[in-house]
């Protein structure tokens, strides 16, 4: 999805339920810059520290979106002009969001850290939230049997989990959680090959993708860790023949940060 317009222009279009406008705002943030409000220090100094605010129990760093908004805000301390992608990459690992124009009527707009992660990693590579995640209901037993068989032959795979994911924008898909013994290049390549072989049995029209269970920031991986049990678990069944799972779906391939939009078969 591509979108034109400046952050200031698109900010005025964001409203409850307008996920398309919000997504366009994220695209603008990814290519534009913001004026970060410094609570301590000056831009470029070692002691420079962004301001912070808490909304509904979540932390945000406040910023303004233009020189004009900076003047309107009445901010008297220093500020730092930073690219949106750069500040997103700096904030999301500590689970900080970005709050745009908190001085504006209505209080401005907050961008949660999960969306900053999307900006930093690529908006076209990570699905648009909020995500509705649950147990898969699509029955594709042949695909599961093939995937379990291939996983059994791929020593890098410790376990596999699955979920059904509905992005707020875009089509739903089956996600496969990959739990690996290590994330080294050889292991990742062997799992990539495993998924390539397995998705050949996915029915036409079913989109599948993968997510690394070692990704501490991915919302699908977080849901899988908290709510699902493996349908393939090498440690639990060491020495036993793999058992094909029943009734559920799965997604793409390529473990690691940014598992990407699903592929449709």
Q: What is the pLDDT of residues 50-88, one digit of tens each?
A: 999 999 999 999 999 999 999 999 999 999 999 999 999
Residue in the structure block whose two tokens are 């390539």: 196
In whole angstroms, what is the distance from residue 248 CA to residue 141 CA? 8
Check residue 4 and give its pLDDT: 62
Q: Structural domains in the chain?
A: 7-121 (3.40.1350.90), 132-264 (no CATH)
What phi and psi values does residue 8 have, to the nearest 5 degrees? -60, -45
| pTM attached to this predicted model | 0.78
In this structure, are residues 176 and 250 in contact, taking their beta carbons and an 8 Å threshold? yes
In this structure, are residues 22 and 167 in contact, taking their beta carbons and an 8 Å threshold? no
Helix/strand/coil for 235 = coil
The yes-or-no verdict on residue 12 having pLDDT over 60 is yes
DSSP 8-state class, residue 66: S
| pLDDT band for position 5 (cuts 50, 70, 90) | confident
Check residue 95 and give its pLDDT: 95
Element (H, E) at 236: none
Mean pLDDT for the chain?
Answer: 86
DSSP 8-state class, residue 60: E
Check residue 240 and give its pLDDT: 44
Return the structure tokens found at 15. Answer: 């409203």
Check residue 117 and give its pLDDT: 95
Mean pLDDT of the 210-230 span:
94
């Amino acid at each position: 999805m591509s979108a034109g317009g400046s952050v200031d222009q698109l900010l005025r279009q964001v409203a409850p339920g307008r996920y398309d406008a919000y997504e366009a705002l994220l695209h603008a943030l990814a290519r534009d810059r913001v004026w970060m409000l410094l609570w301590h220090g000056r831009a470029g100094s070692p002691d420079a520290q962004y301001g912070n605010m808490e909304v509904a129990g979540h932390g945000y760093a406040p910023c303004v979106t233009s020189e004009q908004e900076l003047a309107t805000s009445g901010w008297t301390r220093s500020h730092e002009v930073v690219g949106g992608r750069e500040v997103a990459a700096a904030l999301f690992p500590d689970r900080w969001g970005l709050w745009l124009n908190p001085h504006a009527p209505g209080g401005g707009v907050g961008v949660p850290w999960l969306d900053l992660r999307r900006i930093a990693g690529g908006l076209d590579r990570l699905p648009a939230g909020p995500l509705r995640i649950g147990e898969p209901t699509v029955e594709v037993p042949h695909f599961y049997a093939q995937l379990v068989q291939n996983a059994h032959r791929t020593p890098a795979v410790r376990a596999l989990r699955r979920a059904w994911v509905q992005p707020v924008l875009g089509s739903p898909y089956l996600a496969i959680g990959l739990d690996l013994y290590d994330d080294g290049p050889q292991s990742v390549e062997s799992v990539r090959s495993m998924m390539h072989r397995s998705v050949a049995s996915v029915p036409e029209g079913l989109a599948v993708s993968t997510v690394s269970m070692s990704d501490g920031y991915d919302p699908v991986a977080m849901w899988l860790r908290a709510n699902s049990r493996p349908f393939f678990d090498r440690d639990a069944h060491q020495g036993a023949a793999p058992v094909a799972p029943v009734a559920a779906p799965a997604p793409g391939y390529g473990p690691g940060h940014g598992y990407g939009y699903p592929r449709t078969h």
